[in-house]
Structure 1
């Protein structure tokens, strides 16, 4: 990987300024650039929160492949996800704009396909990020409800009570992200240290206090298949879903580009640092928890506590430390939900800026005092709250929400990477960070991995398949995307031409090609 630029020439400035890059897309700088590389990384790392992603689904993954799926599955997913991150970081460096993925597509797709490809990418990206708010905050609500169960295992919080807690959490996240971005920077850096210090504390205390720990052989080789499917390979693959769900949302670093200093370098670093840090801390965390399993059947299969990891804590370190652990995990979940709310609001703001959403005039407004897109923040809060209603209808809907989040995000990643590999292979203008001769092979592997895992997320996870355990992720995903395409075909295609199509031409009149040519001659 290199940090050079194809824009550099002897007779031109070394790099285009970020204002000029924005102008090339038909935009002007509206938000303050107050975010550092550390803050950008913190936001992306918060979206990849290992404590909020791994904890709720750990028990299900253990029953779908055992410790092998947890440990080796995490390593496998981390490697391929880092490859996806490299592919996206290269494109992000060339186009450090808040809209991220869908704006990149406008420069990677053939001209005649730009409007529909941008439209599809934008809606996939928005759906993935916004549904992620629902999954993170709903997971926190479930976890908060289960705390009472630690003291009284017979207690079972009603679904309506859990949804009420969820609504309070979502609203608080809306309030936090309506404040000035400088406060969010501090909040997200606090999130980073909370995750790292909290995870380290759990690892050390759990390993020191837990008696009768599992052997290394058990941790690295134990396999379990409680899915009902006869195929052990299929069970192992189902066990990968926990890992892939956790390692998503890192594109939030790109969505903060217009508020990040030196975004062409800082945003790609934010993506890669987030994946790398999550991969390493996640592996150490999973290893430590698996070593603390004393009785698989009783602690994971038969326990009444949810999530099952709570039972492992309770047996290993006792009630008081378990309460401390749950507070740390709930704090991480809260920070993660806030980071996702932040990232998704910037995405919908950028999309609305191009007139690609209903009520675009309002969703694209930046509040003059807070310098934040407040209407976009609360639109996502409302949508996340509505999606959460599915949990009341059917408790298995939580798994579908998780799957939709990952599928939608993955497809939003796939489109620009595939275009970079095909139609834009020879005319891509590299930014300061690029992959050099390794670009094509990394992009190709990333595309195959995204398609493979997306197919996994629509597969059933239990057998026999019934109406109650059916994976409805494909139904939700197809409904939203098809609805958006119908809206595009009958209405939006008449005026939506891609990023910058709604901009005031009197203020911004230099297109991308002219700017690139200016600095590439």
Structure 2
């Protein structure tokens, strides 16, 4: 299955030792990495460390996500349980990010997980496992766009509700139309301002950090004080699971949704200068920055939430907007604070669109999708250089996902669960392949960022954490469910996986070989 070649000075001029780095081709190491995976450099490498950090940190929006995803935590864990669940999720998911960062240093390519599976899986199953991994990644990142757009749309509706309480009547289709509008705006941004994305991501990173204090300080100063025992000593099972521990495990979906995403920069790796070093460092520092700010914010929110029932029954649609309103006593202040989060979430949608389009582009150039020749084309002119066809496909998929909202009042939980489960499954498969390879003492590419002798332990812990989170990501928010409140993510996830398998055995296995057939051996 593997087609390995020895490096030659004819095929790869970087072996002469000359510094031939440029904005187009990156550093000498970037050219070596691209030569090894058998790909030509097609995109400009204009991302640096700060822009990579801004890209992944803003896409995660961790401290923002713990606020708009707080309903899940308040239902399954209460004030204290929400904090402990986040802390446990942060510690556990840190091992996952460390494992992913090392793999990113081994093979920094836009394909990400499906490339790693293709290269590192046993030859007997590398094609089909790589193919399925590519499909679940496509599903996961499209769900990310839908989740961001859905959150922005609902926050807009919530702001209208508190500013015009007597004249506005909510209708589900309002949110659906707003989701599509937000997705269109994010797509336009990634088309016409694509070449400015690194600069803009760096600026947004500053807003992300200052916005954190813009929310934190008013909550600290204006909220009524409560005793620490009321917060840290309170674990509640409002979901009706009959056990506080089980309730907190179900509530894991909230913090994991807030923490998932540092690997997003992997799909931008062919646009990162010195990617095999900068990419893993960006992932680690994103985890440190967002993990710590998220922890501070969730503790603050737990102290400020007050009456949980009042917050969760708010007509704003989000408990955190009601908490802002209660803490400040001002509609204008609550509106201003919510707008900060709304802007950051829109920026997250922009980053999600960029990541998703690169994922589709990479998978399509390996002929992993229907109409691959159409989807892997780049639109190149003086205004933009982007996979335009892939971008428009993303818009269509997100528009279809937005229809979930019309039939279900808990659509956001389903979207959160679906995206989390899809990406987690890709992590499980890729880390398992690397762990198996190490267990068998088979060679792996060198990594410029490595955990050394601790890598096998970290990989093993990562897999245990991922399996637990994956299973609970399909649980509904509460035990007693109706067709409207059921978490239907398992249905969508299963349908996409089955379709991918059917398409693979019907057609794709004849044309899809996986990236491994181009991988060359470095000597």
Q: Is the 8 A contact 1:51 1:332 kept in 2?
A: no
Q: Secondary structure at the match of 1:423?
A: helix
- Provide the TM-score with structure 2 as the length reference: 0.91
Q: Kindly indicate whether residue 422 of structure 2 is the aligned counterpart of residue 422 of structure 1.
A: no
Q: Which moved more, 1:335-344 or 1:21-30?
A: 21-30
**RMSD of aligned C-alpha atoms?**
2.0
Q: Secondary structure at the match of 2:385?
A: coil
Which of the numbers 187, 191, 197 marks the counterpart of 1:184? 197
Alignment partners' CA distance in 2, 1:122 and 1:462:
32
Which of the numbers 300, 305, 326 marks the counterpart of 1:315? 326
Q: Kindly indicate whether residue 246 of structure 2 is the aligned counterpart of residue 234 of structure 1.
A: yes
Q: Is the 8 A contact 2:35 2:520 kept in 1?
A: no
Q: Secondary structure at the match of 2:39?
A: coil
Q: Which moved more, 1:85-94 or 1:465-474?
A: 465-474
1:477, CA displacement in angstroms?
A: 0.2
Q: Which moved more, 1:14-23 or 1:55-64?
A: 14-23
Q: Kindly indicate whether residue 372 of structure 2 is the aligned counterpart of residue 365 of structure 1.
A: no
Q: How does 1:69-80 map to 2 (within 5 A)?
A: 69-80=81-92
1:31, CA displacement in angstroms?
A: 0.3
1:352-408 CA distances to partner (integer Å, 9 max, x unpaired)? Answer: 111111221121112222222121122112111111112112232332111110000
Q: Kindly indicate whether residue 309 of structure 2 is the aligned counterpart of residue 297 of structure 1.
A: yes
1:268-313 CA distances to partner (integer Å, 9 max, x unpaired)? Answer: 112111122111010111112222233333334x433320111111
Alignment partners' CA distance in 1, 2:221 and 2:205:
24
Q: How does 1:380-395 map to 2 (within 5 A)?
A: 380-395=394-409
Q: How does 1:134-283 map to 2 (within 5 A)?
A: 134-153=146-165, 155-210=168-223, 212-283=224-295
* 1:504 match: none
* 1:508 match: none
Which of the numbers 327, 335, 344 marks the counterpart of 2:347? 335
Which of the numbers 476, 489, 492 marks the counterpart of 2:505? 489
Change (3 A) 1:500 1:32: farther
Residues matched between the structures, number: 496
Q: Secondary structure at the match of 2:348?
A: helix
- Provide the TM-score with structure 1 as the length reference: 0.91
Alignment partners' CA distance in 2, 1:452 and 1:115:
26
1:214, CA displacement in angstroms?
A: 1.9
Alignment partners' CA distance in 1, 2:425 and 2:333:
41
Q: How does 1:108-119 map to 2 (within 5 A)?
A: 108-119=120-131
Q: Which moved more, 1:477-486 or 1:372-381?
A: 372-381
Q: Kindly indicate whether residue 110 of structure 2 is the aligned counterpart of residue 94 of structure 1.
A: no
Q: Is the 8 A contact 1:30 1:366 kept in 2?
A: no
Gaps of 5+ in 2: 1-6, 8-14, 19-26
* 2:468 match: 452
* 2:422 match: 408
Alignment partners' CA distance in 1, 2:328 and 2:456:
49
1:70-112 CA distances to partner (integer Å, 9 max, x unpaired)? Answer: 2111111111111101001001001011111111112211223
1:115, CA displacement in angstroms?
A: 1.2
* 1:505 match: none
Alignment partners' CA distance in 1, 2:150 and 2:315:
19
Q: Secondary structure at the match of 2:290?
A: helix
Q: Secondary structure at the match of 2:69?
A: helix
Q: Which moved more, 1:322-331 or 1:418-427?
A: 418-427
Alignment partners' CA distance in 2, 1:232 and 1:199:
31
Change (3 A) 1:60 1:110: closer
Which of the numbers 448, 454, 478 marks the counterpart of 1:462? 478
